[in-house]
A and B are shown apart, each in its own frame.
Chain A
Amino acid sequence: MNSAESFAELPVKPKPAIRRFHQARWDEPIIFELSQPGRRGIAVPEPGAPKVELPDSVRRASKPALPELSQLHVLRHYLRLSQENLGVDLNIDVGQGTCTMKYSPKVNDTFMADIADLHPEQPVESAQGVLEIYHTLERMLAEISGMARVSLQPGSGSAAIYANIAMIRAYHEANGEGHRDQVITTMFSHPSNAACAKTAGYEIITLMPDAEGLPDIEALRAAVGPRTAALMITNPEDTGIFNPRIAEFVELVHSVGGLACYDQANANGILGITRAADAGFDLGHFNLHKTFSTPHACGGPAAGACGVSEKLIPFLPGPVVDFDGSGYVLTTPEKSIGKIRPGLGVTPNIVRAYAWIMSLGAEGLRTVAETAVLNNNYLMHKILQIPGASAPWDKRRVEQVRYSWQELSEETGVHSEEIGVRAADFGVHYWTSHHPYVVPEPFTLEPTESYSKEDLDEYAAILAHVADEARRDPAFVKGAPYNSTVHKIDMTPLDDPKQWAPTWRAYVRKHLS
């Protein structure tokens, strides 16, 4: 008697090969819509400290229009929202390619209560412990990247990239070369490099990939000139392919007086293997929320680390932390571009990143990279066995792969976004790609060191199952999600300034008035 027959005797069925999942789907209003005048969550006791009289220049004319709710309703609201999310603590989060979703050790959160007691303006004499952490982490990141000095002042991602472009501008202006107004980047570098440089007023020149999927060095040769301020590049790029000629790229930019800036967003596969300084980069940054395990924070307070070579030290964002022989002091570099974040930066994540590195040591960091690369290549092997999936350019990959469903899509009419939405019915998801879709019908997977072989097997099995469904019943896949939160999103309004509303006030103005 096989197991299926034995189950047939019982009032239960065997578990399906793919894990079942059903997510909460609350029709939850925006918190402002839940507000009732006069309702409150907590009565704040009178503070013992003397009342500070604010000058009229900074005093609001009217009270802020904050939502008014009881504690229970606040708690319930956010619990419901949390049930409608997926995330690294809940699911196999390898589909958020380029984002380096890894486990943030909970033990490191135990330090947060102490950190919360720090005041941003606290005298340095009484904050020596946290300043030592800053000082040590700055030097550890300098060691990891090979750069001469690091500032932990910026926020992460785009804030750090903006700090990079601000330093590039300050450097050229200090050298009487403020006329340099062009920034070169590549199609598969993080697009924030182009966006931040453009926001800072630069003209953007983008290099397309060549037939090998690498940025075209001949195109770079045609792009560089006296107007070149910098090359801002990611390596490995978002394809997961490492550019073996990166030192030549850097040299070419140096030959015309430009700076080479390294967005180390994809550093998780190269820790302890290669360094920014080895390729000759002048500056760059790490995202502590990617490589160094701190929470991503959904566009909130993640932390960045900008590293520079000797000649750019005077321009670093400040303050940075020095040791004067007897204690830790805050100093602002001579020609600093100034502060990016208030206070010292995002201290809780500085502490988490410090703790994570200290727990691993140098050898541990290299093991992180090797495990991430091994996981990625194992998953790639599994994904490429799914009929209709491919990875263009037949190249070795480092820590992630940008795959394509082109063949499956042409056969079934089902698109990559739709396959991703159907995958959410099984409790996983994936991200497609930045635009434009140079790889047709893309999906980008990045399994870091955090995931087990069983995790990767399960993830690949879900994608194989959905691909099979697309062949058998494309309309069913296109109708997804069925078991997940409603998240079939019409993205058209994102391009329409008349419709987008990043704040409640904008929403009221554009949609409710």
Chain B
Amino acid sequence: MTRVGLVVNPVAGIGGPAGLKGSDGPEVQRAALARGATPRAGERAALAVRTLRAARPDVEIVAAPGPMGEDLLAGEAPSAALTTAADTRAAVHALRDVGLLLFAGGDGTARDVLDAVRELAELGCQAPPVLGIPAGVKVYSGCFALSPAAAGLLAAEDHDEYAEADVVDLDEELYRQGRVSPRLYGTLRVPAARHRLSGRKASTPPGSVEAIAREVVARMEPGTPYVLGPGATTQQVGRQLGLATTLLGVDVVENGSLVAADVTERDLYELAQDAVVVLSAIGGQGFVLGRGNQQISPRVLGRTKDLLVLATQQKLAALNGRPLLVDTGEEETDSRLSGHVRVITGYRESVIYRMECT
């Protein structure tokens, strides 16, 4: 990489040490500052930049203005300027010509970057590949490097392969109430370096997701509706059937045809009789039900006949022994689904794994 862009969200992570469990929104940021929090994103970005410069002095680093990167490159102490999502998006627009865009922040920042990439796509512009420097309170997305130093070293390498990595975020308001609620927002293009990205997407051999989808397709029976939840794995099931199923919505397929795409809970209730629900875990917390797929409600599940859970072995390994989780909002449904489930991990391959209610 010869030209690397840098966008720092200076307030990312400021709410963490202040016990605010996140930093989204100006009120939380002001509250954190009032509690005496000091910004940490700048320091973490500076560590990534130092590592990058040490490894590749020839790389040109182009930064967003002022506290969003420029000050840091000039060696100034990080400040806690209150920036907004719009500032992050504008910075990504301005740096769209770099070979790789480094951004320092958390899942909220990753969402802003994703929004900017989508805006660029709408304008017909190709956005650069990106890489997150982990600096936020919540870092559940797959587009972050394992550490600031790892981000710097990755940016120093030349890449010719890229992969799509999940952008997930939690609802901070629920998170403050003690509920972890990750939701998949989309994917960002990142350097395809194995073992070096955060958790979930690391080290997944190519073809694993396709093999899982093939197993699901092989199990499909005529006359049975299949409810495909959100996510890249379930979307691959649709692809293998030649159907334009959605990445983020819930779709219904039957007899090889797309019956309904991106359905609401009410629509789904009508279509779910004797259906098989096909789900993959969302985000690093291992949620299978109740996060990002609330359309599949307890009353919908009550009508279905089976549930297939999909995950690569790598994704299960990244849970570090934690169980898969269900939280449909109805205790009876949750406890019915709890216990050891067979998770499809490949073609004619599965792992027995614990699923628990929250």
Q: What is the interface of chain A, defined by CB distance below 8 A to chain B? A: 187, 194, 198, 202-211, 216, 218-223, 409-413, 415, 417, 435-438, 440, 474-475, 478, 491-492, 495-496
In the complex, the answer to whether A475 meets B351 with C-beta atoms within 8 Å is no
Residues of B within 8 A of A218 (CB): 340, 354
In the complex, the answer to whether A495 meets B205 with C-beta atoms within 8 Å is yes
Answer whether A436 and B203 are a contact pair too, CB < 8 Å, given A205-B351, A206-B349, A219-B354.
yes
The answer to whether the Cβ of B35 comes within 8 Å of any Cβ in the partner chain is no
Residues of B within 8 A of A221 (CB): 340
Nearest neighbor of B350 in chain A, beta-carbon distance: A205
Q: Mark B123-160, 1 if CB is under 8 A from A, else 0.
A: 00000000000000000000001111111110010000
Interface segment among B84-92, B255-263, B294-302, B310-318: the answer is: B310-318
In the complex, the answer to whether A437 meets B317 with C-beta atoms within 8 Å is yes
The answer to whether the Cβ of B308 comes within 8 Å of any Cβ in the partner chain is no
In the complex, the answer to whether B340 meets A219 with C-beta atoms within 8 Å is yes
Per the bound structure, the CA–CA distance linking A496 and B316 in Å amounts to 23
In the complex, the answer to whether A204 meets B350 with C-beta atoms within 8 Å is yes
In the complex, the answer to whether A211 meets B149 with C-beta atoms within 8 Å is no
- Given A207-B351, A413-B145, 12 extra CB contacts under 8 A: A198-B349, A202-B348, A207-B352, A208-B321, A208-B353, A218-B340, A222-B352, A409-B146, A410-B147, A412-B147, A413-B149, A415-B196
Residues of A within 8 A of B54 (CB): 475
Per the bound structure, the CA–CA distance linking A415 and B192 in Å amounts to 16
Nearest neighbor of B341 in chain A, beta-carbon distance: A222
Residues of B within 8 A of A216 (CB): 340, 352, 354
The answer to whether the Cβ of B207 comes within 8 Å of any Cβ in the partner chain is yes
Nearest neighbor of B52 in chain A, beta-carbon distance: A475
Nearest neighbor of B207 in chain A, beta-carbon distance: A495
Answer whether A413 and B152 are a contact pair too, CB < 8 Å, given A205-B352, A222-B352, A436-B317.
yes
In the complex, the answer to whether A495 meets B349 with C-beta atoms within 8 Å is no
On chain B, the number of residues with a Cβ less than 8 Å from chain A's Cβ atoms is: 41
In the complex, the answer to whether A412 meets B196 with C-beta atoms within 8 Å is no
Residues of A within 8 A of B293 (CB): none
Residues of A within 8 A of B342 (CB): 205, 222-223
In the complex, the answer to whether A475 meets B51 with C-beta atoms within 8 Å is yes
| From A411, A417, A474, contact of B195 by CB (8 A) | A417
Q: List 28 A-B contacts (CB under 8 A).
A: A187-B313, A187-B351, A194-B349, A202-B348, A203-B349, A204-B350, A205-B342, A208-B316, A210-B321, A216-B340, A216-B352, A216-B354, A409-B150, A411-B147, A413-B151, A413-B152, A436-B312, A436-B317, A437-B195, A438-B317, A474-B51, A475-B153, A475-B156, A492-B192, A492-B194, A495-B205, A495-B206, A496-B206
Distance in angstroms from B278 CB to nearest chain A CB is: 18
Answer whether A219 and B203 are a contact pair too, CB < 8 Å, given A413-B51, A415-B196, A436-B317.
no
In the complex, the answer to whether B51 meets A204 with C-beta atoms within 8 Å is no
In the complex, the answer to whether A208 meets B352 with C-beta atoms within 8 Å is yes
The answer to whether the Cβ of B345 comes within 8 Å of any Cβ in the partner chain is yes
Per the bound structure, the CA–CA distance linking A418 and B205 in Å amounts to 20
Per the bound structure, the CA–CA distance linking A492 and B207 in Å amounts to 12
Which 6 A-B residue pairings sit nearest by Cβ, starting from the closest?
A413-B149, A222-B340, A413-B150, A219-B352, A436-B317, A475-B55
Q: What is the interface of chain B, defined by CB distance below 8 A to chain A? A: 51, 54-55, 145-153, 156, 161, 192, 194-196, 203, 205-207, 312-314, 316-317, 320-321, 339-342, 345, 348-354
Nearest neighbor of A475 in chain B, beta-carbon distance: B55
Residues of A within 8 A of B152 (CB): 413
Per the bound structure, the CA–CA distance linking A492 and B320 in Å amounts to 25
Distance in angstroms from B192 CB to nearest chain A CB is: 8
Per the bound structure, the CA–CA distance linking A222 and B353 in Å amounts to 9
Per the bound structure, the CA–CA distance linking A277 and B111 in Å amounts to 57
Per the bound structure, the CA–CA distance linking A202 and B351 in Å amounts to 14
| From A198, A220, A409, A495, contact of B348 by CB (8 A) | A198
Per the bound structure, the CA–CA distance linking A216 and B320 in Å amounts to 14
Per the bound structure, the CA–CA distance linking A415 and B147 in Å amounts to 11
Residues of A within 8 A of B352 (CB): 205-208, 216, 219-220, 222-223
| From A194, A413, A435, A475, contact of B203 by CB (8 A) | A435
Per the bound structure, the CA–CA distance linking A209 and B352 in Å amounts to 10
Residues of B within 8 A of A495 (CB): 205-207
Per the bound structure, the CA–CA distance linking A222 and B146 in Å amounts to 35
Per the bound structure, the CA–CA distance linking A344 and B348 in Å amounts to 35
In the complex, the answer to whether A415 meets B313 with C-beta atoms within 8 Å is no
In the complex, the answer to whether A412 meets B149 with C-beta atoms within 8 Å is yes
Residues of A within 8 A of B348 (CB): 198, 202-204
In the complex, the answer to whether B314 meets A436 with C-beta atoms within 8 Å is yes
Per the bound structure, the CA–CA distance linking A435 and B156 in Å amounts to 26
Distance in angstroms from A441 CB to nearest chain B CB is: 8
| From B145, B321, B341, contact of A211 by CB (8 A) | B321
Nearest neighbor of A440 in chain B, beta-carbon distance: B320
Residues of A within 8 A of B196 (CB): 415
Distance in angstroms from B346 CB to nearest chain A CB is: 8
Distance in angstroms from A386 CB to nearest chain B CB is: 19
Per the bound structure, the CA–CA distance linking A292 and B202 in Å amounts to 38
Residues of A within 8 A of B161 (CB): 492
Residues of B within 8 A of A411 (CB): 147, 149
In the complex, the answer to whether A206 meets B149 with C-beta atoms within 8 Å is no
| From A206, A220, A474, A496, contact of B351 by CB (8 A) | A206
Distance in angstroms from A74 CB to nearest chain B CB is: 37
Distance in angstroms from B108 CB to nearest chain A CB is: 22
Answer whether A206 and B350 are a contact pair too, CB < 8 Å, given A411-B147, A495-B205.
yes
